[in-house]
Structure 1
Amino acid sequence: MESDSLPALFLSHGSPMLAIEASPAGRFLDALGGTTPLPRAIVVASAHFMTDRPMLGGHPHPHTVHDFGGFPEPLYAIRYPAPGDPGLAEDIAGRIAVAGLPVKVREGHGLDHGVWVPLRRMYPQADIPVVPLSVQPQADAAVHYRLGQALAGLGDEGVLVIGSGGFVHNLGELTWGQPDAPMPDWARDFRDWMRDRVLARDVDALLDWERQAPQARHAHPTTEHLLPLFVAMGAAGERAGVRHLHDSHEYGSLALDAFAFG
């Protein structure tokens, strides 16, 4: 079924193994694609597309990027051959420019694993056009919320906006080899604070997360995996409502929460 109204999503993509493992997060994504109307196109703000200003992938046939190392060989054989949409990329670039942000369309850009890993679970047919959108790690949450606000009309036009990152993401603190390891207190404290404020739509507190959230820079030594959350929040515009779609964690501190806005 197609519709003119779609929520904006924040998804934690976790390890690249999410693409093939029968994990709780993977099974959640398998079902998620069927719970919302079929989009005409998808825009994904990915933690793994980092630039100094907003950029959009504008290739008509973007390649699958395996931007990771040390994983099982079958993962590198995966291709996600979704088409691109250069016209939509240019249209979105225009909206971002109107919002006063510098922007560029990168014609040769592919789909990194922050894009194709969740989409492969949600839409395995790979027949919906995909436009990747970058994050800017040198910019703060407020800039990314503003970036999302520039996309606010897309959900009403049948375009699904996804922020793909991680709710808690400190690779140096993971309990490697133990996917079922318990979550440490520092990660739980940050996750719970963020979750409570997301569900309350406390935008002011969330945009000040680095100062207000407990264990903020322990949970995110670098910010690129949290910035897609603010893009998704902004993309919902003034539409009320937020739903907590998924709650699981892996390797101790890797929180894999997901939310729908609008």
Structure 2
Amino acid sequence: MMALEPSPARDFLAGLGNSLPRPRAILVVSAHHDAAYEGGRATVTASPAPPTVHDFGGFPEELFAMRYPAPGDPALAQRVIDLLAAHGLAVAADPERGLDHGAWVPLSVIYPQADIPVVQLSIASAASPEWHYALGQALAPLRDEGVLVIGSGSITHNLRAFFTTRPAIGAPAPAWVSDFTAWVAGRMEANAIDDVLHAVERAPHGKDNHPTPDHILPLFVAMGAGADGDGLHAKRLHASTTYAFLAMDVYAFGEESVAV
């Protein structure tokens, strides 16, 4: 609903594109593109014109009518394949798949003109946090090639809690949500990579905030892509909560993130 509803997170993302150097292309790792059934193999979109995928139900018709007609970039998809393969990571191209809402919803707010090529890379929820971090490390050269690497998930994601109570969009976060996000922010600042990778097990209320791992795994790919020999250089750009249970923190990684 970020595509339609005002919120602090939407306001932040609406200004983010203008604060960043304009990328030549965007690679999005989305929680909603899960290659779990492939057992640790990534999938990358390779269509020159990826369709807008409405992979949800029960939402307003206005949302289903939205399109994000950004071009694809088959050459970038091949570059992703080559980088991952060079690190021994299994990857396959998908010439048919489009952009799911984990990609096109935030991009429609950050870059509403849809004039930057977009490629989407899957997670693999059956694979470990370390596998996803390694995925990002393999993709790190893209940062010097004008490609913006985005991990699109959610720092907390308990939909059962949301559907049980149906809080208002601006309802405050309960302690079990804010304690988790504060712990992650502190471990990010301390450059405690292993702790962050295992936040679901180690942080307060980790399992409550992530009953399934899919929505935190894109964070680990972004971390790997931004890390260097000195660590993450993590910067928390934004923190807010939507509907009480969905924390919408935004992080940047890499030395250049301090300028954002």
Shared fold per TM-score greater than 0.5: yes
Pick one of 16, 32, 44 that aligns with 1:32: 16
Match of 1:219 in 2: 209
Comparing both structures, which one devotes a greater share of its residues to helix?
Answer: 2
Q: Which has the bigger relative contact order, CA under 8 A and spacing at least 6?
A: 1
Match of 1:20 in 2: 4
How far the C-alpha of 1:237 sits from its partner, in A, is 3.1
Pick one of 231, 242, 248 that aligns with 1:250: 242
The list of structure 1 runs, each at least 4 consecutive aligned residues, that deviate by more than 4 angstroms after superposition, is: none
RMSD of aligned alpha carbons: 1.1
* 1:105-134 Cα deviation digits (max 9, x unpaired): 111010000000010011111010000000
State the distance in 1 between where 2:167 and 2:53 align.
25
State the distance in 2 between where 1:138 and 1:91 align.
24
Pick one of 134, 138, 159 that aligns with 1:150: 138
Match of 1:123 in 2: 111
SS in structure 1 at match of 2:204 = coil
Match of 1:83 in 2: 71
SS in structure 1 at match of 2:31 = strand
State the distance in 2 between where 1:20 and 1:94 align.
37
How far the C-alpha of 1:43 sits from its partner, in A, is 0.1
SS in structure 2 at match of 1:150 = helix
Pick one of 39, 47, 52 that aligns with 2:31: 47
SS in structure 2 at match of 1:153 = helix
SS in structure 1 at match of 2:196 = helix
Match of 2:225 in 1: 235
| Unpaired segments ≥5 residues, structure 1 | 1-16
State the distance in 2 between where 1:207 and 1:58 align.
29
SS in structure 2 at match of 1:34 = helix
Q: Percent identity?
A: 52
Aligned residues of 2:201 and 2:207 also touching (Cα < 8 A): no
How far the C-alpha of 1:147 sits from its partner, in A, is 0.4
- The 5-angstrom pairing of residues 164-175 of structure 1 reads 164-174=152-162, 175=165
How far the C-alpha of 1:177 sits from its partner, in A, is 4.6
Match of 1:92 in 2: 80
State the distance in 2 between where 1:99 and 1:237 align.
16
Aligned pairs, how many? Answer: 246
Q: Residue 101 in 1 paired to residue 89 in 2?
A: yes
State the distance in 2 between where 1:24 and 1:188 align.
16
SS in structure 2 at match of 1:43 = strand
Q: Residue 261 in 1 paired to residue 253 in 2?
A: yes
Using the size of structure 2 for normalisation, the TM-score is: 0.92
State the distance in 2 between where 1:160 and 1:251 align.
29
State the distance in 1 between where 2:191 and 2:16 align.
22
Aligned residues of 2:7 and 2:242 also touching (Cα < 8 A): no
State the distance in 2 between where 1:33 and 1:76 align.
24
SS in structure 1 at match of 2:194 = helix
SS in structure 1 at match of 2:18 = coil
